[in-house]
Structure 1
Amino acid sequence: MTKYIPFILFTVLTNAAAQVMLKYGMMQLGALSFVGVNPILKILQIVFSPWVFLGLCTFVISMASHLFVLSKVDLSFAYPFLSLAYVVVAVFAYFVFREDVNAMRIVGIALICGGTFFIAWSGGPTHAESVDREVADAVATPSDLHNASKVSQ
């Protein structure tokens, strides 16, 4: 499973990048108000603003990467890594957006990193290896068939 960690980290980074782009795009748009405006047109204005649109496109790339990862590894292994996106976003938000990262958030970030480390360390078979093993266990060999015919006689 560890050979897929670069793909998992790519998913994490594109997910985090999408969040940052969406935040920046919404900052560019300012406070939203739907009063006296056609809501459909307002939503289209938001979606097609450059940074929001780029963020949404990046989410699509992140999701495609995640789908690839899910085809190769167990969900219980891959999904917890997505919590690292919170770590990346919190660090970026602190340095670029000047958001407050207090002691409790730092403790939470440390716990997320520690938990992800233990999950990565757990390793285990890939999804494909698990399926191959199940198929191999389910397929009867010629000697199994021969032995079964002896028992039934």
Structure 2
Amino acid sequence: MGYIYIGGTIFFTVYGQLILKWRINHFGELPEAVLDKCLFLFKIVFDPFVFSGLAAAFIASLFWMAAMTKFQLSYAYPFMSLSFLAVFILSVVLFHEVLTWQKVIGLAFVIVGIIISSQGT
């Protein structure tokens, strides 16, 4: 069951990041003036999709707390790096972000790190 909790944490973390990026792209860039920035962010927070992304972060934290009852932090935390992999792949597919060899190599190191760190308890 502990791995389901970690999976839920990753799923809701990735969902939140992708939905926020999608909606931020819709709203455009942050204005320069301080008051305009505040109004802009206030408007964004109440967008239903953005709100769902923020709620997903909260739900991810609940899953993470459940995972902490099953695993040591030093064992479970490296699995959170899988969210980097998922966000990377989905950002390339959904937002047509640039795929570079440097990013691919960096993510390969992350995956190797997860494999190595998951071997110890």
> What TM-score does the superposition give when structure 1 sets the normalisation length?
0.72
Tell me the CA shift for residue 37 of structure 1: 3.8
* Residues 6-43 of structure 1: CA deviation (Å, up to 9, x unaligned): 22122112111110011011011111215274654433
Q: Secondary structure in 2 aligned to 1:96?
A: helix
Number of equivalent positions: 121
Within the candidate set 34, 57, 60, 2:58 is matched to 60
What is the identity percentage for the equivalent residue pairs of Structure 1 and Structure 2? 26
Alignment pair present for 1:89 and 2:84: no
Greater relative contact order (Cα < 8 A, sep 6+):
2
- AA matched with 2:79: F
Which of the two has higher C-alpha Rg?
1
Aligned to 2:114: 116
Aligned to 1:51: 49
Aligned to 1:69: 67
**Counterparts of 2:43 and 2:6 in 1: how far apart (Å)?**
32
**Counterparts of 2:37 and 2:108 in 1: how far apart (Å)?**
41
Gaps of 5+ in 2: none
Tell me the CA shift for residue 76 of structure 1: 0.4
Tell me the CA shift for residue 87 of structure 1: 0.4
Tell me, yes or no, if the aligned pair for 1:84 and 1:113 is still in contact at 8 Å. yes
**Counterparts of 2:37 and 2:110 in 1: how far apart (Å)?**
38
Tell me, yes or no, if the aligned pair for 1:19 and 1:55 is still in contact at 8 Å. yes
CA shift in 2, pair 1:33/1:39, >3 Å: closer
**Counterparts of 1:23 and 1:99 in 2: how far apart (Å)?**
12
Aligned to 1:128: none
> What TM-score does the superposition give when structure 2 sets the normalisation length?
0.89
Q: Secondary structure in 1 aligned to 2:69?
A: helix
**Counterparts of 1:40 and 1:31 in 2: how far apart (Å)?**
13
- AA matched with 1:69: A
Gaps of 5+ in 1: 125-153
